[in-house]
Structure 1
Amino acid sequence: MIGIYIGLDVHKRTVYVTEMNENGKIKERYEIVNRDESWNEFIQRYRTCEVEIALETSTSGKYAARLLRDNNFSVHLADPSNLALIFRSAKKNDREDSYKLAKLLRIGELPEVHISSRETDDLKTLVRYRRSLGEESTAIKNRIHAILAMHGIAIDESDIFGKRGMRKIEEAISKMTAAENIVMSDMLEKIIELNRRRQMIEDEIARISNNNEEAKLLMTIPGINVYSAAAIISEIDDIHRFDSKEKLASYAGLVPRQSQSGSRDQRGHISKNGPSMLRFVLVNAAHMAIKYSKRMKIKYLKLVKRLGKNRAIVAIARMLAETIWTMLSKRIAFYDEIGSLTEKKIESMRMRSLRPNV
C-alpha cells in the first residue's frame, strides 16, 4: 500500500514539495533549492518510504524525474497540456501546482507521459544531434547552390559535394570576387567539418546499436539504416507500451484529425502529435519502401490516384508505423525483406562499430 504521494513543482532554482497521505490529507509542504545537496537530502528522507512522486514535464522536471528514477523511486511525469484542461483555475502558484500534482496522482487521474530508460535517453541525444548536423549542413549547401546559380555556374556531378564536386567548386570560386571567395571557402570548410562530426556520431550510434536485435529487425525494411533504426527505437523506447499498431501510428502523429458529431464525421490532416523525429524518419523511409516493397508500392499507387503524392506517402508512413509495431511485438522481419540488402546494412553497422573513438 502506498503511504505517501508527493507533488513536485520543479523550477530552475527551486522545487516546491507537497506531501499527501493515502486519505488526501496534506502531511507537509516545503520548498527546497534545486541543487544536488538538496536532492540528496530529499532522497535520503524518503528512501525507506512507500512513495509515489509526480512532477510536470519540463527541462528541470525531466532532470529531476531521471535523478529520482535512477534512485529507484516510482516517478510519474505529467503532461502539462492535459493538466491545463483538468484544472481550469485562475489560482496558479508553486504551492497550488504541487498540491494538484499530488492530488491527481493519489486519485489516479494524473495525465502521464512516458519516462524512457537512460540507455534510450542517450541514444535519443545522439540521434537528435545527428539530425541537427544534417540540417546545418543542408542550410550551408543551399547557400552554396544559390551563390553558384547567381554566377551561372553548374557543377556537372551527381553529388556536387563529393570529392570531385568539391574540387570543381573550389576551381569555380577562384574566379569570384575576394569577398565571395572567402565566404565560399569558409562554407566548404564547414561542410567538411560537419561531415566529420556526422560520421563520428553515426559511428557511436552503430556501436550502441550493433548488439540490438530490434535495430537489426528494423533494418530488414528497405530505406531504414542504422541511423533511422536507432531513431525509431529511441522514440518508441518499449514497444509493449503500445497496445495496438493503431496506437503507435497515433503516437507518431500519422493519423488524421477527426471531428465527429451525430451523423457528421469529418477527417482532416494528420494530427502531427508526438515526436517529430519519429514522423520524419517514417516519412523518409516511406519513399524508399514504395520502391523496394511490392506490397507498399501497390498500396501507394492506389492511394496516389485519390490523395495525391504527398498524402499518399504519409499514408504509407502510417502503414510503415503499423508494420513496425507488428515486427517488434512479434519479433519478425519485414515481409518484403531483401536479404542481400539487409546483410549489407548489418555488416556496415558492424564495421562502423569497430572504428576507434575520435
Structure 2
Amino acid sequence: MLQTLPGASRGVAEVIIAETGGDMSRFRTAGHLASCAGVCPGHHESAGRRRSGRRRHSNRWLGPALGTAAMAASRTRDTTYLGARYHRLVPRLGKKKAVVALEHSILTAVWHMLTDDVTYRDLGGDYFTRRDPEQAIRRLARQADALGFTVRFDPIEAT
C-alpha cells in the first residue's frame, strides 16, 4: 500500500514499516509521527532573534529512506501533488528545507494511509492552481508587472 506514494519504492516502504512498526496507534497524530522521525518544522524565534531551526537527528534508517522518497517525489514536477509542493516551496525555503518539508508531507500521508487503511490518493500537480485560481491570477499579474507589462485576464468562453 505504501508503494502507491510517489517516490516510495519497495525498499523505502519496507524501511518505513520496519522503523515505525506499521501500527499507527502508537502515534496520536501525524505530527507525533513526524516528531518521532525528526522531520518537524522548526521555527525558533523569540524577542526578534532567530535561533537555529535545524531538524533533529532522526532514526538511522528512516531519515535516509524518507530523503530518498522525497528526492524521487520532487522530480515529478507537474504530475503529482508532492512534486508541485516541492517546486512551490523551493523559491522561498531553498532546496534542502523543501526536501525536509516534503519528507514531513510524506510521513503525514503515511500516517493517514496506515491509520485509515487506504491507498494514496494524489491531489494532482495542478492542485494549488485549482484550489485558489484568483491567487494564481494575482501572482501572474505581479510577475508581469515586475517585467514591465500590463495584462488583462478574460475568461475563455465555452463553445
Band of TM-score, shorter chain: 0.5 to 0.7
- Superposed CA deviations along residues 5-50 of structure 1, whole A, max 9, x for unmatched, are xxxxxxxxxxxxxxxxxxxxxxxxxxxxxxxxxxxxxxxxxxxxxx
In structure 1, the residue matched to 2:34 is 249
TM-score scaled by length of structure 1: 0.31
What is the CA–CA distance in structure 1 between the aligned matches of 2:98 and 2:46, rounded to whole Å?
Answer: 27
Runs of 4+ in 1 over 3 A off after TM superposition: 256-267
TM-score scaled by length of structure 2: 0.66
Kindly, what percent of the aligned residue pairs are identical?
32
- Write the mapping of 1:313-324 to structure 2, written as runs, cut at 5 A: 313-324=99-110
Give, in angstroms, the shift of residue 312 of structure 1.
Answer: 1.0
What amino acid is aligned across from residue 283 of structure 1 in structure 2?
Answer: G
- Write the mapping of 1:1-358 to structure 2, written as runs, cut at 5 A: 217-237=1-21, 238-259=23-44, 261=46, 266=51, 268-273=53-58, 275-292=59-76, 294-336=80-122
- Structure 2 runs not aligned, ≥5 long: 124-159
Contact 1:220–1:333 under 8 Å retained in 2:
yes
What is the CA–CA distance in structure 1 between the aligned matches of 2:48 and 2:83, rounded to whole Å?
Answer: 34
Query: Does the residue aligned with 1:255 lie in a helix, a strand or coil?
Result: coil
Indicate the structure (1 or 2) with the bigger Cα radius of gyration. Answer: 1
Q: How many residues align?
A: 120
Which structure: greater strand fraction?
Answer: 1
Q: Are residues 267 and 243 of structure 1, via their aligned partners in 2, closer, same or farther at CA, if it must alter by over 3 Å?
A: farther
Give, in angstroms, the shift of residue 298 of structure 1.
Answer: 1.6
Q: Are residues 329 and 265 of structure 1, via their aligned partners in 2, closer, same or farther at CA, if it must alter by over 3 Å?
A: farther
Contact 2:6–2:82 under 8 Å retained in 1:
no
- Superposed CA deviations along residues 77-132 of structure 1, whole A, max 9, x for unmatched, are xxxxxxxxxxxxxxxxxxxxxxxxxxxxxxxxxxxxxxxxxxxxxxxxxxxxxxxx
Give, in angstroms, the shift of residue 279 of structure 1.
Answer: 1.2
> Which protein has greater RCO, CA pairs closer than 8 Å, 6+ apart?
2
In structure 2, the residue matched to 1:129 is none
In structure 1, the residue matched to 2:144 is none
Q: Are residues 259 and 312 of structure 1, via their aligned partners in 2, closer, same or farther at CA, if it must alter by over 3 Å?
A: closer
What amino acid is aligned across from residue 299 of structure 1 in structure 2?
Answer: R
Query: Does the residue aligned with 2:17 lie in a helix, a strand or coil?
Result: helix
Contact 2:16–2:62 under 8 Å retained in 1:
yes
What is the CA–CA distance in structure 1 between the aligned matches of 2:113 and 2:61, rounded to whole Å?
Answer: 20
What is the CA–CA distance in structure 2 between the aligned matches of 1:258 and 1:300, rounded to whole Å?
Answer: 19
- Structure 1 runs not aligned, ≥5 long: 1-216, 338-358
Give, in angstroms, the shift of residue 222 of structure 1.
Answer: 2.7
Give, in angstroms, the shift of residue 281 of structure 1.
Answer: 0.6
Contact 2:70–2:106 under 8 Å retained in 1:
yes
Give, in angstroms, the shift of residue 263 of structure 1.
Answer: 7.4
